[in-house]
Amino acid sequence: MLFPTLDFGLFFLPVLLLVWTVGLASNEWRKIILLLASWVFYGFWDWRFVALLIASAAINWGCAQAIQRRLDDGRSAQPWLGIGVAANLAILGFFKYFGFFLEQLAPILARAGWGRDLPVLEIILPVGISFFTFQGMSYLIDIARRQTAPASFLDITLLVSFFPHLVAGPIVRASHLVPQFKAVPRLTRGMVATALILICWGLFKKTVVASELATGLVDKTFFDPSALTGLDLALGAYGYAVQIYCDFSAYSDMAVGLAALLGYRFPRNFDQPYRATSLQDFWRRWHISLSSWLRDYLYISLGGNRGGVWFICRNLMITMLLGGFWHGAKWTFLIWGALHGGVLAIERLWREWRPEGFPALPKPIAILIIFHIVVAGWIFFRADTLEGALAYFTQLWAFRPGLTLASPVLCGLIALGLAIHFTPPTLLPALGRRVAALPAPVLGLAVGLAILLTDAMRFEGVAAFIYYQF
Q: Where do contacts with other proteins occur on this chain (CB under 8 A)?
A: 6-7, 10, 13, 16, 20, 176, 186-196, 198, 212, 215-217, 220, 253, 256-257, 260-261, 265-268, 271, 284-285, 288-289, 292, 403-405, 407-410, 428-429, 432-433, 436-437, 439-441, 443-445, 447-449, 451-453, 455-457, 459-460
| Cβ proximity to other proteins, 116 vs 186, nearer residue | 186
d(CA 196, CA 287): 21
| Cβ proximity to other proteins, 83 vs 436, nearer residue | 436
d(CA 416, CA 389): 26
Least gap, CB of 348 to other proteins (angstroms): 19
Q: Which amino acid is at 189?
A: R
Q: Is 262 left (phi over 0), alpha (psi -120 to 50) or beta?
A: alpha
Which residues, 6 or more positions from 147, have their beta carbon under 8 angstroms from its beta carbon? 175
Other Cβ atoms closer than 10 A to 50:
18
Least gap, CB of 448 to other proteins (angstroms): 3
| Cβ proximity to other proteins, 66 vs 195, nearer residue | 195
Nearest 5°: the CA angle 158, 160, 164 is 80
| Cβ proximity to other proteins, 84 vs 225, nearer residue | 225
CA dihedral of 341, 343, 344, 350, whole degrees rounded to 10: 140
Half-sphere exposure of 370 (CA within 13 A, CB side): 23
Q: What does DSSP assign to residue 208?
A: I
Nearest alpha-carbon partner for 139 in 77, 72, 60: 60
Least gap, CB of 12 to other proteins (angstroms): 10
DSSP 215-283: IIIIHHHHH-GGGS-HHHHHHHHHHHHHHHHHHHHHHHHHHHHHHHHTT-PPPP--S-GGG-SSHHHHH
| Cβ proximity to other proteins, 152 vs 292, nearer residue | 292
| Cβ proximity to other proteins, 327 vs 458, nearer residue | 458
d(CA 170, CA 268): 8
DSSP 287-352: SHHHHHHIIIIIITTTTTTSS-HHHHHHHHHHHHHHHHHHH-SSHHHHHHHHHHHHHHHHHHHHHH
| Cβ proximity to other proteins, 404 vs 423, nearer residue | 404
Q: Which residues are catalytic?
A: 327
